[in-house]
């Protein structure tokens, strides 16, 4: 899986992207690029369930953001 870095930002806010999601289509129009969205943890939690239902899948993530999101958990 691709690893996102701090340079990858959320497409909806200035936060670092935690997830990159791509829309999988059964019969893609091959001349059209597959849509992808980079989302921070907040926006993924907000939109992820609906997006998953529409066929979006997570194709990349940022382990550093995951670590930050777990802040408050004893390490
Ligand atoms: Zn965001």
Q: Mind listing the pLDDT tens digit for each residue in 13-65?
A: 999 999 999 987 766 666 677 789 999 999 999 999 999 999 899 999 999 88
What does the pLDDT read at residue 24? 77
Residues 60 and 56: their CA atoms lie apart, in Å, by: 12
The alpha carbon of 43 and the centre of ligand 1 are apart by a number of angstroms equal to 5
Report CA(46)–ligand 1 centroid distance (Å): 9
pLDDT score for 75: 45
Owner of token pair 């959320």: 10
Residues 26, 16: Cα–Cα separation, whole Å: 30
Residue 74 vs residue 24, higher pLDDT: 24
Rounded to two decimals, the pTM is 0.78
């Amino acid at each position: 899986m691709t690893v996102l870095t701090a340079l990858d930002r959320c497409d909806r806010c200035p936060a670092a992207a935690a997830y990159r999601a791509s829309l999988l289509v059964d019969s893609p129009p091959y001349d059209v690029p597959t849509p992808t969205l980079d989302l921070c943890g907040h926006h993924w939690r907000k939109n992820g369930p609906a997006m998953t239902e529409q066929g979006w899948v997570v194709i990349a993530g940022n382990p550093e953001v995951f670590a930050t999101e777990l802040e408050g958990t004893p390490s």
